[in-house]
């Protein structure tokens, strides 16, 4: 299997989930003691979050491109970004490194379409919900995307950065997310996309009354499948 480079640490709470999920899938398919050959570049999330809050996306692009180049130099033959928000610069990372990139939104959209659904609610960081880079990718795949209202977006964002990225999982926040999702269902959503890799720590299938698409699990499966395909070539 060719080595896949993962840009992680944003936050490490979800990156550790990626590592487990990828290797569980590879072992389930290949059997025995099999695991995936991975290179993980885990960045310091504190300066990343500060640059996000400041809106310095050029600085973040430089950081992500360098991480991709470091992984390429270490032997990676394809890349994955283990966070939804930082896919804002995914195209630039792929172009500058010259490596194929396993895109989280593409993998998620394919799963939604395979389920026969087209109208989805998106819960994510404020950046991912409000900026076009992610929603446009889903729309291009044939999906209609609903997002919560401004106050709900602010609360979803707060829980991600102040709780989930710090390893805190609170029942009251789970109830808040469930209430927001129920409102989106009333607006016509057929399913919900957990468009932040930490939300899987909080929202479970039993907490909501419509299909749930967990981008962490979906992306990890896509990365594992790429490693398995590489092994067969």
Catalytic residue annotation? 83, 196
129, 155 contact by CB (below 8 A): no
144, 189 contact by CB (below 8 A): no
Of 3, 233, 196, which Cα lies nearest the Cα of 100? Answer: 3
Q: Rounded CA gap, 230 and 196, in Å?
A: 27
What are 121's two structure tokens?
């609610």
Q: Rounded CA gap, 68 and 141, in Å?
A: 26
Q: Rounded CA gap, 4 and 130, in Å?
A: 30
Distance in Å from the first CA to the final CA of the chain: 9
């Amino acid at each position: 299997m060719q080595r896949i480079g993962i840009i992680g640490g944003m936050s490490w709470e979800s990156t550790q989930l990626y590592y487990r999920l990828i290797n569980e899938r590879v072992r389930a398919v290949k059997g025995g003691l099999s695991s995936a050959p991975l290179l993980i570049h885990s960045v310091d999330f504190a300066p990343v979050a500060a640059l996000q809050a400041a809106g310095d996306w050029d600085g973040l692009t430089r950081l992500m491109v360098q991480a991709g180049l470091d992984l390429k130099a270490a032997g990676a033959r394809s890349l994955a970004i283990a966070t939804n928000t930082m896919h804002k610069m995914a195209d630039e990372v792929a172009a500058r490194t010259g490596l194929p990139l396993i895109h989280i939104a593409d993998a998620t959209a394919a799963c939604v379409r395979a389920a026969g659904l087209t109208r989805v609610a998106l819960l994510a960081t404020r950046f991912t919900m409000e900026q076009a880079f992610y929603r446009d990718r889903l729309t291009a795949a044939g999906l209609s995307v609903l997002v919560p209202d401004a106050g709900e977006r602010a609360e979803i964002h707060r829980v991600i950065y102040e709780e989930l990225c710090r390893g805190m999982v609170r029942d009251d926040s789970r109830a808040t997310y469930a209430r927001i999702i129920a409102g989106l269902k009333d607006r016509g959503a057929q399913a919900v996309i957990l468009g932040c890799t930490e939300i899987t720590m909080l929202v479970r299938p039993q907490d909501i009354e419509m299909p749930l698409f967990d981008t962490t699990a979906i992306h990890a499966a896509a990365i594992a499948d790429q490693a398995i395909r590489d092994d067969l070539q």
